[in-house]
Amino acid sequence: MAYNTHLAERVTIELNRKQVAFEAKKMFGGICFMIDDKMCVGVVKDNLMVRSNPDDGEKLLQKPGAAPMDFTGKRMKGFLFINDEGWDADNDLAFWVDVCLAYNPLAKASKKKK
């Protein structure tokens, strides 16, 4: 299944509204928005992929539509999937993008392939 292009467009609009420089890369069968060469936020199928502070994970899981990201079959620390219940309203999507942007300066970049 392809990723939700409407959601990806909304994320693009939100990042532009916040005047954030980003690069969109296709990965995981979806799209990931890279900020400072680090995965920040993305779209996988119909889910918003959120990269957040791992220390905030349990608190964020209490939000509507939030679930652990288990893309590989096991829970990925610091990553959440948010279904449409959690991102349908503009202010909800803005909340999740803000969560990602707040953590991005603390996140480690993946090692570059040679």
* 3-state DSSP of the chain: CCCCHHHHHHHHHHHHHCCCCCEEEEECCEEEEEECCEEEEEEECCEEEEECCHHHHHHHCCCCCEEECCCCCCCCCCEEEECHHHHCCHHHHHHHHHHHHHHHHHCCCCCCCC
Burial class (CB in 10 A: 0-12, 13-18, 19+), 106: exposed
Domains of the chain, earliest start first: 5-106 (3.30.1460.30)
Give the distance from CA 2 to its chain's centroid. 17
Q: What is the pLDDT of residue 2?
A: 87
Would you write out the chain's pLDDT as a tens digit for each of its 114 residues? 589 999 999 999 999 999 999 999 998 789 999 999 999 999 999 999 999 999 999 999 999 999 999 867 888 889 999 999 999 999 999 999 999 999 999 998 776 665
